[in-house]
Amino acid sequence: MTVGQVPAELVATAQAWLDQDPDATTREELAQLIASATDEAGVTALQRRFAARLEFGTAGLRGELGAGSNRMNRVLVGQAAAGFAAYLLSKDEAPSVVIGYDGRENSEVFARDTAELMAGAGVRAILLPRMLPTPVLAFAVRHLDVSAGVMVTASHNPARDNGYKVYLGGFDNGSQIVAPADAEIAAHIARVAEDSSVLHLPRSADFELAGEDVVDEYVRRTAALATATDSPVTVVYTAMHGVGWEVARRVFAEAGFAEPLVVAEQIAPDAAFPTVAFPNPEEPGALDLAFATATAAGADLIIANDPDADRLAVAIPDGDGGWRRLSGNDVGSLLGWRAAERLANADENGTLAASLVSSPALAAIAREYRLDYVETLTGFKWISRAGGLAYGYEEALGYLVDPAKVRDKDGISAAVDFLSLVSELAARGLTVADHELAFAERFGAFASSQISLRVTDLAEIGRLMARLRDAPLAQIGGIRVDHIDDFSHGFGPYPPGDILRFALDGAARVIVRPSGTEPKLKVYIDASSDQGTPAERRAAADATVATLDAAVRELLA
């Protein structure tokens, strides 16, 4: 049934949402959308808000701020909090949760809503004392021995996004949720959305505010990772307009490092992220201000955290007066070598783990040191669950160097470990570039690149994946495809997933998959060489990657 050109059911759904919305901004926004739904354009705009619901999955929730079930807002977060509370109550007689938030728009509002709704449902709720990095929240789940954790953040997503990241304590050891917990939580959320108005859900101000001792202990244990801090290394640091600097600064000081120079324009939290198109250190241009600051200071190293400080980016002088950003695989391999050395020096065993889209270099390190190696699906929810984990990383700038403290990627701990490496090298008169050549000599040279194709129409990703499946490639860039692994129906130990892995001659590979958190198709390219001098090995691996990169870009154009 319609009223003129306006679907009555759509308007009724939107009105019901508006009626329970406690936020004046999104109420006004939705009221205007309803009033404007008098022609095709207005109806389409309203349909975009309600044609779907932000899906609660293994990444929790993440999406654009705004009114409606397909946006991040107080109604959606309220339903999620109440549903998650119901899940926790079904699993534990006396459940507890710690809640953190970053500096994005509405992060604190969503966190306080969660604390009040959790407390109102009968869950012991603890709110971190202020905006803090995601690793502090991940640490707090284990440190406080609570049933669960919630972090309100969209990490490195665009400025208009926010998100809701969920961890489980107990048997899950503070890792992010995985199946079947994600589906069980989603079912509880759906029941809340179906049966209750957010305005009628029980709330309580009887939640706890965590003490500074939680942050103090995170700082102490992270600083304890440091070694060789007395070498004169000049470092530039950027927080990318996020919340990393306050805690990172304390950690560096307690570890004994000299205080870094900072990128002043990006050091304070700013939800608008005014100096970057995307607040992701991987994005072109994101580190330009850091490069300029470091060049002016004659610095030796740039370290960057993303806005919630769970990722680390590193750049080093390129030898020609400029800067070279190390890839996530570059940093992950060097930190993996460092972790293997730690285990060897302590005469201990342990597991090195990386996601299947990360470089094969870590597997080579594990073989050399006779350590266990585990390859996982993408995401630290999988990496952090590897048995006997000593170190884990994924190519998207995520590193877990201290699994006893945190079971998620931690850009501040990783920064301490990398700063220690640089300091040790400097004490021996060596640079990171020298160390990369030593790596190539011992393990072979590994090169990689990544292509991220951002789309406005998510259906385009499906069409591209279908095209690659329907017409299998025989070669890429003139290099023969030996075989294709299609994960769509499961592959080996992996469950079904939208992943294609092309194995090419010469141990090169290309992996294609949709992003799990952004509207992107992602391509991962890897090659290696163990022939010739270290410099020749690196040149050969780089050349193969360049050939494949150009071919894939042409293929996807």
Outline where 273-390 has alpha helix (H).
Answer: 288-297, 328-345, 361-369, 380-383
Measure the CA–CA gap between 103 and 152, rounded to whole angstroms. 9
Q: What is the CA radius of gyration of the chain?
A: 24
Task: Quote the mean pLDDT of the chain.
Answer: 95
Could you tell me which CATH class the domain 72-210 is placed in? alpha beta
Maximum CA extent, the chain: 78
Strand pairing class (208-209; 161-168)? unpaired
- 58 compared with 158, residue with greater pLDDT: 158
Report yes or no: 218 and 174 within 8 Å, Cβ to Cβ: no
Q: Give the tens place of pLDDT for each residue, 532-541.
A: 999 999 999 9
The stretch 428-448 carries a mean pLDDT of 97
Measure the CA–CA gap between 479 and 483, rounded to whole angstroms. 12
The superfamily CATH assigns to domain 444-556 is: Alpha-D-phosphohexomutase, C-terminal domain (3.30.310.50)
Contacts of 374 by beta carbon, 8 Å cutoff, 6+ apart: 351, 352, 353, 386, 387, 389
pLDDT of residue 6: 67
Q: Is 530 helix (H, G, I), strand (E, B) or coil?
A: coil
Given a cut of 60, whether residue 363 has pLDDT beyond it is yes
Given a cut of 80, whether residue 229 has pLDDT beyond it is no
Question: Which of 47-56, 183-192, 450-459, 471-480 is least confident?
Answer: 450-459
pLDDT of residue 459: 85
Report yes or no: 417 and 331 within 8 Å, Cβ to Cβ: no
The stretch 273-283 carries a mean pLDDT of 94
Q: Structural domain boundaries of the chain?
A: 1-51, 72-210, 231-430, 444-556
- Label residue 543 left, alpha or beta by phi (over 0 means left) and psi (-120 to 50 means alpha): alpha
pLDDT of residue 30: 97
The stretch 280-303 carries a mean pLDDT of 96
User: Cα separations (Å) of 313 from 159, 162, 287, 398, 475?
Assistant: 19, 22, 9, 9, 33
Given a cut of 60, whether residue 2 has pLDDT beyond it is no
pLDDT of residue 3: 46
pLDDT of residue 193: 96
Q: Does the CA dihedral 16-17-22-27 come out positive or negative?
A: negative
Report yes or no: 298 and 399 within 8 Å, Cβ to Cβ: no
Catalytic residue IDs: 155
Measure the CA–CA gap between 123 and 127, rounded to whole angstroms. 12
Question: Which of 3-7, 465-469, 493-497, 524-528 is least confident?
Answer: 3-7
pLDDT band, very low/low/confident/very high, at 230 (cuts 50, 70, 90):
confident
The stretch 436-441 carries a mean pLDDT of 98
Q: Identify the bridge partners of residue 195 per DSSP, sorted by sequence position.
A: none
Measure the CA–CA gap between 351 and 370, rounded to whole angstroms. 10
User: Cα separations (Å) of 419 from 7, 225, 238, 316, 490?
Assistant: 59, 10, 15, 12, 40
Which residue pairs from 550-553 have beta carbons closer than 8 angstroms and sit at least 24 positions apart in sequence? 550/477, 551/476, 551/477, 551/478, 552/451, 552/476, 552/477, 552/510, 552/523, 552/525, 553/451
The stretch 386-411 carries a mean pLDDT of 97
pLDDT of residue 374: 97
The stretch 285-313 carries a mean pLDDT of 97
Q: For residue 208, which of 125, 146, 149, 148 has the smallest C-alpha distance?
A: 125
Given a cut of 70, whether residue 4 has pLDDT beyond it is no
Measure the CA–CA gap between 513 and 521, rounded to whole angstroms. 6
pLDDT of residue 5: 60
pLDDT of residue 213: 97
Report yes or no: 294 and 236 within 8 Å, Cβ to Cβ: yes
Q: Identify the bridge partners of residue 475 per DSSP, sorted by sequence position.
A: 480
Q: Is 343 helix (H, G, I), strand (E, B) or coil?
A: helix
The stretch 90-108 carries a mean pLDDT of 97
Measure the CA–CA gap between 309 and 264, rounded to whole angstroms. 17
Measure the CA–CA gap between 362 and 392, rounded to whole angstroms. 9
Q: For residue 472, which of 507, 510, 514, 506 has the smallest C-alpha distance?
A: 510
The stretch 141-157 carries a mean pLDDT of 97
Topology adopted by domain 231-430: Alpha-D-Glucose-1,6-Bisphosphate; Chain A, domain 3 (3.40.120)
Given a cut of 90, whether residue 152 has pLDDT beyond it is yes
Q: Identify the bridge partners of residue 101 per DSSP, sorted by sequence position.
A: 152
Share above pLDDT 70 across residues of the chain, in percent, rounded to a whole number = 99
Question: Which of 218-227, 230-239, 247-256, 526-535 is least confident?
Answer: 230-239
Same fold, 72-210 and 231-430: yes
Measure the CA–CA gap between 55 and 70, rounded to whole angstroms. 8
**pTM attached to this predicted model:** 0.94
User: Cα separations (Å) of 56 from 155, 194, 408, 515?
Assistant: 17, 15, 19, 15
Measure the CA–CA gap between 329 and 325, rounded to whole angstroms. 11
Strand pairing class (235-238; 301-305)? parallel
* Burial (0-12, 13-18, 19+ Cβ within 10 Å), 163: buried
- 229 compared with 246, residue with greater pLDDT: 246
Q: Give the tens place of pLDDT for each residue, 317-355.
A: 998 999 999 999 999 999 999 999 999 999 999 999 999
Measure the CA–CA gap between 189 and 77, rounded to whole angstroms. 10
pLDDT of residue 403: 96
Q: For residue 174, which of 217, 134, 224, 140 has the smallest C-alpha distance?
A: 140
